[in-house]
Amino acid sequence: MCGRTACTLAPGEVSRASRYRDRRGRRRRPRWRDGDADKYQPSYNKSPQSMSPVLLSQRHFDENAPADKCVLAAMRWGLVPAWFRENDPSKMKFNTSNCRSESLLQKKSYKDPLLKGQRCVILADGFYEWRRQENDKQPFFIYFPQTQRPCAPEEAVPDLKAEDKETDEWTGWKLLTMAGLFDCWTPPGGGEPLYTYSVITVDASSNLQDIHHRMPAILEGEEEVRGWLNFGEVKSLDALKLLQSKNTLTFHPVSSIVNNSRNNSPQCLQPVDLQSKKEPKPTASSKKMMSWLKSSTPSKRKEPDACETKGEQESKPETRPKSAGPLQQWLQGANKKRRTK
């Protein structure tokens, strides 16, 4: 299952980190849907009913948009079906933060959005999961392996207009891309539509089974993300084939401070040493990541976002955790210690 995530990037950084290639091979940054960048708040500890960045096809909002054009939206975690008749979504008596891939076509709450093509990708730094122990639960942070990705020049694509050349490659944290379904609910008496989502889960991969028996359905690489989002060309039953357990994630144990969703600080993500408790050693991939954290130089954060106009930059306040992202914090701390030795 997936009951807690972290997404610490600012709105402009989320846009840069989720760049994609369109069918002509052009690199595109998805823009935020009007007003949604202000609804999303970065957090080290996101729980259900919070607002998260979600990637989806622009055609859900504009039927004339190109089939492969993506947009970012802020959606509430916990799907509220369009047919829900109460005037308050908190009155729902069942949990929809996760939905099992095996039963998507069996439950009306998920079957309707699936058959309508309402597929989305939930973006996060990673997610938390708890492993049951004798007297308590040990939390872990689970994420894509992080590698140093040098800022490579953009591949040459013919016939590009100047405004299409978005060449600043993202070299920061690689966001986790989780498959999901979304729906749009409107209060019975009228009011602003509420967009909500559910994270699809599958059986845990072999390297995560010791932590929990379920995991989010991970979409790995641009091709899988594009196939999941392109509901016009990839039919629902074919898209379901993308929902597979993947043995590609890494993890590290974190402090129990994350158990309380009100705690929102870099300490939620910071690795803890469990060797004294005779815990299994970290995976090779985790060791590689930690080695990189101790030796790398922080990448420069480009602000304001180059894809926004000057007017947008002046009118929209930047929203981010009070301190720099956890990756940059750890790197800065390690570099500072080396300089003082």
Q: Are 72 and 55 in contact (CB under 8 A)?
A: yes
What does the alpha-carbon distance between residue 178 and residue 201 come to, in Å, rounded to a whole number? 9
Distances (CA, A) of 68 to 19, 49, 54, 122, 126: 12, 29, 16, 17, 25
- The DSSP symbol for 187 reads -
Give, in order, the Cα–Cα distances in Å from 103 to each of 106, 114, 272: 5, 11, 36
Nearest to 283 by CA among 291, 130, 216: 291
Contact 51, 78 (CB under 8 A): no
- From 13, 70, 120, 129, active-site residue: 129
- 2 among known catalytic residues: yes
Q: Give the residue carrying structure tokens 């994630």.
A: 249
Residue 253: CB atoms within 10 A of its CB come to 20
Q: Give me the catalytic one of 2, 7, 120, 268.
A: 2
Tokens encoding 78: 């916990």
* Helix ranges, the chain (H): 11-17, 36-39, 108-115, 221-229, 236-239, 284-295, 310-315, 326-340
Question: Would you say 261 and 287 are in contact if contact means Cβ atoms under 8 Å apart?
Answer: no
Token readout for 334 is 């390690």
Strands 98-100 and 137-143 turn out to be unpaired
Catalogue the active-site residues. Answer: 2, 129
